[in-house]
Structure 1
Amino acid sequence: MSFPPDDMLPVPIELIDEVRGFLRLDHVEDDEAIAQLLRSAARLCENFIGQRLIARSVCDRMPVRTEWQKLKKQPVQAITLVEAVGPDGALTSLPLNDYALDIDSDGVGWVKLLPANMVARIAVTYDAGLATDWAHVPTTLRQGVVRLAGYLYTHRDRMDAGGPPSAVTALWRPHRRMRVA
């Protein structure tokens, strides 16, 4: 299955309908604004929980090391391509026997280049996300995104009144992956 690129978070009409229902709106004039607010709310959710909601294609560029390197986005569904990055930025596919890949039980993706490579940088393309579409996103995450988009919609013309509702983070917190810096 092919996923959209990382910068293209899909927003189906059903999700816009959920926000309209939450806000008790009976018009569709603001649907595009609501879709943008849903994208923003989803990005904030992803940053908060440390995971992608909807699976999307991601490409990490990294220096070559012979030890395992962790991919940035999680949970990794599949690692699809490893390429050498030339000095001019040109990409060349690496043979399978030049690198090793792993996805652990937590959905963390790992890559390492095997010794005897003359490559300085690599580009790793992979698919990362909790679900294939919004219908399969865990309910508490989806509800938090809808509530936050509704909050952003109702506060779009006002000064920030102390930040988003605490109910949003309460819905997201059980899914949060903590990172050690």
Structure 2
Amino acid sequence: MMLIEETAVPQSALPLAQFRAHLRLGTGFADDGIQDPVLESFLRAAMAAIEARTGKVLIRRAFSWTLTRWRDPAVQALPVAPVTQITRLVLRDRGEGEEVIAPDFYTLETDMQRPVIRPKGAVLPYIPSGGTAEIVFDAGYADNWGGLPADLAQAVLLLAAHYYEYREETALGDGCMPFGVTALIERYRTVRLFAGGRA
């Protein structure tokens, strides 16, 4: 399985002004636009870390997901949430021949934790042996920063500030995330009840 981000978060959707204000309050950061590219990089890193930890996409953008088989031909969970629409489903055989599946044959069940694609008939279209299915979809809470849940937006600012404060630190352990950030994102983490079970 391979998930690819087809479109990036535009710079206009990033809260650079809020982040500058946040840093000034905490560290006496100067009001200096010269550091905007640096701040942008920390914001993007914080967003990526929180999206990876929660499985939730913050700013809406397009993704493609390629898989070699359905986990269950009657329902397939998507790898991130919230998914707003499926724009394309393509089956490819071993020789790269492709078949675009019409939306009449499947439906998206939106869910804030685990959106799924279901067949409108009995099963999802058969993936050829040695072939793949590619699902192209849009996912994310909002098109801009103002539309995000307040706790997720605050978590990004806190984590980006943490990265900024400790940018020279090399001794932090793998997966280090400040407690305040962990507490803010905890309710968004997807719970998997059975290892290897339906997902």
How high is the TM-score relative to the length of structure 1? 0.82
Letter in 1 for 2:106: A
Q: Secondary structure at the match of 1:158?
A: coil
Indicate how the Cα distance of structure 1 residues 32 and 11 shifts in structure 2: closer, same or farther if over 3 A, else same: same
Find the partner of 1:176 among 186, 189, 195.
189
Q: Secondary structure at the match of 2:33?
A: coil
8 A contact 1:74–1:109 mirrored in 2: no
1:137 partnered with 2:148: yes
- With 51-60 and 153-162 compared, the bigger mean Cα shift is at 153-162
1:95 partnered with 2:76: no
1:60 partnered with 2:65: yes
Indicate how the Cα distance of structure 1 residues 117 and 41 shifts in structure 2: closer, same or farther if over 3 A, else same: closer
Find the partner of 2:159 among 148, 151, 162.
148
Q: Secondary structure at the match of 1:132?
A: coil
Letter in 2 for 1:63: T
Q: Secondary structure at the match of 2:15?
A: helix
CA distance in 1 between counterparts of 2:143 and 2:23 reads: 26
Match of 2:9 in 1: 9
1:158 partnered with 2:169: yes
How many residue pairs get aligned? The number is 176
What stretches of structure 2 of length at least 5 have no aligned partner?
Answer: none
Find the partner of 2:116 among 104, 109, 115.
109
How high is the TM-score relative to the length of structure 2? 0.75
Within 5 Å, give how 1:41-60 maps onto structure 2: 41-60=46-65
Match of 2:93 in 1: 86
- With 114-123 and 22-31 compared, the bigger mean Cα shift is at 114-123
Identity rate, percent? 24
Letter in 2 for 1:45: I
1:126-146 residue CA offsets vs partner (Å, 9 max, x unmatched)? 111122221100111111101
CA distance in 1 between counterparts of 2:123 and 2:167 reads: 51
CA distance in 2 between counterparts of 1:29 and 1:55 reads: 28
Letter in 2 for 1:85: R
Match of 1:23 in 2: 23
Indicate how the Cα distance of structure 1 residues 7 and 44 shifts in structure 2: closer, same or farther if over 3 A, else same: farther
8 A contact 1:69–1:111 mirrored in 2: yes
Provide the alpha-carbon RMSD of the alignment.
2.6
What stretches of structure 1 of length at least 5 have no aligned partner?
Answer: none
Match of 2:81 in 1: 74
